[in-house]
A and B are shown apart, each in its own frame.
Chain A
Amino acid sequence: MRFLRFVVFNALETLLRLFPFPCKTGLIKIGNPGKDSPVFLTCNYHLTVQRVKRVLEGMEAFLLVANSRGINVWCASAGGHLTNHEVISVLKTSGIEDLVAHKKIILPQLAATGVEAKVIKQKTGWRVIWGPVYAKDIPHFLKNSLKKTTVMSGVAFPWTQRLEMAVAWAFFLSGILSLVMIFFWPKSVLTLILLVWGLSFIIFLSFPLYSRFMNSEGKKVSTLFSKIGRMSFQLLLWIGIVLALFAYSILAKDFSLAVVLRWSVISFVVIFILSFDLAGSTPTFRGGLLAEKQLEVVLNKEGCKGAGFCEKVCPQNCFEVDKMEHTASMINRERCIQCGACIVQCPFDALCFESSEGEKIPPETIRRFKLNLLGSRLKKSG
């Protein structure tokens, strides 16, 4: 019964994955936790809470649900909905301080763009331990005495996640497009829905086939359609559809240029919407919009004391810390997706963002202003 509920919620909320789903905030007891049980924190996105609870099943633990306005951990942290305030609030008001004898809280690593471990410690005395990116790694993380492996601290885009995204986009887009279509061409609504779902699955599931072209040159990732010269996968897909349309209408001896044209245009629009800044909607690539307003992470070697917070919170494993030399280096700079977690967490302010014109955006600005949509952080610091 519990499993059935889990499946139904997962299916429903995957369809509506693009929308927030808030659930109750506060303290949840898993099993029969005692004074020494671990304390975890997560966002109040319903699906996340369900999944975390499922992973923790059978353990004795406390789970604090912070008010992220029903948004998932990474988006809420990057967008300023899961900040120090929400974490402090749930720590202080949920009564957890009376239930455990320690002051260690395990936060999901992806909250590091929004929550400052240093401030939490200062204001509440609780020490933040950055847990794994994915809840499924929690049992391994606990067995490994709260040490993360590289796999645990990296984001990935496996087929399960791509499937979720395909479903979420297909549901949303087919809904909107059929609403438009129903007025102009009601007979074709079903075909349109099938087309949207089909294209969505093709584009997201075949991602590994073309993803390597998205990061060529090491840094400049652009929208797929601006790289027509490179014959992106999407363009090929569209040409394929147009050819298939011609072939079908000729073979069916019912050639109508109008129909072929209409469906060509519709499939172009669908492919365009689905692939628009596809890079930016994956967890493993940086967005390609407004490349000139993008910011690069810069490490100031003099300020760095090798504390290693950057290494612990980087979802792309860009950093390596030399424990003997007490210094960090960005060995995988080309993989950086500019989430800014390293800048937010560095206790010595040794990291900052730099614009393409060489303007430096200091850590305090990054901590205050979330999101760099349309280069807003550049404006804020200017």
Chain B
Amino acid sequence: MSTYILMKILESAPKRYDLGIRLLTGGRLDKVYDRLASHIKEGDKVLDIGCGTGALSIRAAQKGGRVKGIDINSQMLEIAQIWANKLNLTEQIELCEMGIAELDREEADSYDVMMSGLCFSELDDDELSFTLREAKRIIKPGGLLLVADEVRPEKIYKKIINGLRRIFFGAIVFIITQTTTKALKNLPEKIRDSGFDIKSIKINRGENFIELIARKP
């Protein structure tokens, strides 16, 4: 799933982001996001961190959620807003330019669901543990944490294949967009250690992409 590194090229050009993602993933990411959004119930209060152009936020709103999408990239948020307007979801989606560092301003036990699509892999260790700590605080008891992201494979040969792919695509992406991704290590453990119960984990065949559903007890 080197395509998830390649999408960084597109991220640097927010306007082409959506089209590019579709081309690169052949709709795979769409399916992942559809599955995640299927956990949203009518009336749920949802927080989408690193919402980007709103792929997850919009799905959650279509399921009847009241969504707050946050991202640090104002240009991506503009595109998300255009989508929300087109689909008549402006009532249900609130978009804010803010980073995970400002999650401490959110009220405790105030969200039914918090979700993150390809956001955790952009955080450093400090930021990730801060985010998980805040997630534990702001999600209601019984509420869900939904994560879709790039991870490091466990099996040696898959590690090697993935490593080679990353060297190749990573180099191209590095030159063009000047960004890097960092595939996550031990994500399920980290989420468990933050006080969540893991409900389900789905890892793709290449062992480099995870869909994770956790519940706050």
Contact = CB atoms under 8 A, between A and B. Distances in A.
A123 B102 contact: yes
A69 B179 contact: yes
B126 A94 contact: yes
Contacts of B98: 85
B124 interface: yes
Interface in A237-276: none
Interface in A192-238: none
In which size bucket is the chain A interface? 20 to 34
Interface stretch (A6-14, A21-29, A333-341): A21-29
Interface in B96-122: 98-102, 104
A159 interface: no
B112 to A, nearest CB: 25
A89 B127 contact: yes
B116 to A, nearest CB: 15
A71 B101 contact: no
Interface in A50-85: 67, 69-71, 81, 83, 85
Interface in B118-166: 124-127, 129-130
Interface string A169-206: 00000000000000000000000000000000000000
A93 B180 contact: no
A20 interface: yes
A26 B129 CA distance: 13
A89 B180 contact: no
A20 B174 contact: yes
Given A83-B72, A368-B74, A24 B101 contact: no
Interface residues of B, number: 19
B178 A71 contact: yes
Given A83-B72, A88-B101, A88-B102, A93 B178 contact: no
A92 interface: yes
Contacts of A69: 178-180
Nearest to A81: B178
B175 interface: yes
B101 A70 contact: no
B99 A85 contact: yes
A95 interface: yes
A89 B128 CA distance: 11
B51 to A, nearest CB: 14
Contact of B101 (A26, A89, A368): A89
Contacts of A368: 74
A157 interface: no
B124 A67 contact: yes
B99 A88 contact: yes
A48 B125 CA distance: 21
B54 to A, nearest CB: 18
A67 B125 CA distance: 12
Nearest to B178: A20
A348 interface: no
Contacts of A83: 72
A25 B130 contact: no
Nearest to A91: B101
11 contacts: A20-B178, A22-B180, A26-B125, A27-B126, A69-B178, A69-B179, A70-B178, A85-B98, A88-B102, A92-B104, A94-B126
Shortest 8 CB-CB contacts between residues of A and residues of B: A85-B72, A93-B130, A92-B101, A89-B101, A85-B99, A93-B126, A20-B178, A25-B124
Given A71-B178, A95-B126, 9 more contacts: A25-B126, A70-B178, A83-B72, A85-B99, A89-B99, A92-B130, A93-B124, A93-B126, A93-B129
Interface of B: 72, 74, 98-102, 104, 124-127, 129-130, 174-175, 178-180
